[in-house]
Amino acid sequence: MSEEQWAAVDSYLADLYLPSDSALEAALRDSDVHGLPSINVSPMQGKFLMLLAQLHGARTILEIGTLGAYSTLWLAQALPPEGKLITLEVMPKHAEVAKANIARAGRSHQIEVRLGAALESLPKLAEEGHLFDMVFIDADKPNNPHYLAWALKLTRRGSLIVVDNVIRKGGVLNAESGDPNIQGTRQLHALLAAEPRLKATVLQTVGSKGYDGLAIAQVISD
């Protein structure tokens, strides 16, 4: 099985399952035009995130790592009209492109982009008393252990925590890796697996983004 085959199957499925959505397509096009890296979730993964949020009945969502707001706009599709999503982004250019994409999608009233290092924004969210039904962690991987700790502070029993890129082409097997992304991901797995407040599992994925995976956890106690 080759990466090309995974990508071809992904594209076959996307053609079948994803009706054209001008706001989502414009967000990808605009991200590309502005030179943002193409590391957004794939279209089918975006719909998977949306379905998770919808199944969960999420009314408040926190995203760590906005980029051009592609995953943001998928997640927001699951929100009820009064629902809210806050997304954290450190790069001013990414935040700007994201805000324009959100405005074009007519979602500015539901989505707030907070500019700054997530580890500075997260304590502010806690001070402001926010609690989220769902947290999607998808920013700098070395900080994933910290992001998980904040996600636990900012959620309640029943909340859902999802983390992107937790397999990294199987790189997580390499305990001796000098790559801080791998080490951050390995620490994340150790924490997710051992945390008594969580019930967690990992879904390995292949497709247009190669071989990777998503961790999915539910908060089972406060």
List interacting residues with ligand DHB (CB under 6 A).
39, 138, 164-165
Least distance between ligand DHB and beta carbon 213 (Å)? 11
d(CA 145, CA 183) in angstroms, rounded, equals 10
Residue 142 or residue 171: which is nearer to ligand SAH going by CB? 142
User: Taking CB under 6 A as the rule, does residue 167 contact ligand SAH?
Assistant: no
Sign (positive/negative) of CA torsion 63, 68, 73, 75?
Answer: negative
Candidate list 8, 33, 55, 91; residue touching ligand SAH; CB under 6 A: 91
- What residue number has its CB nearest to Mg ion? 164
Is the CB of residue 9 less than 8 Å from the CB of residue 216?
A: no
d(CA 56, CA 91) in angstroms, rounded, equals 30
Residue 126 or residue 203: which is nearer to ligand DHB going by CB? 203
Q: Pick one of ligand SAH, ligand DHB, Mg ion, none as the site partner of residue 53 (Cβ within 5 to 8 A by kind).
A: none
User: Taking CB under 6 A as the rule, does residue 89 contact ligand SAH?
Assistant: yes
Least distance between ligand SAH and beta carbon 221 (Å)? 28
User: Taking CB under 5 A as the rule, does residue 89 contact Mg ion?
Assistant: no
User: Taking CB under 5 A as the rule, does residue 133 contact Mg ion?
Assistant: no
Residues in contact with ligand SAH by CB under 6 A are 39-41, 65-67, 70-71, 88-91, 94, 117-118, 138-140
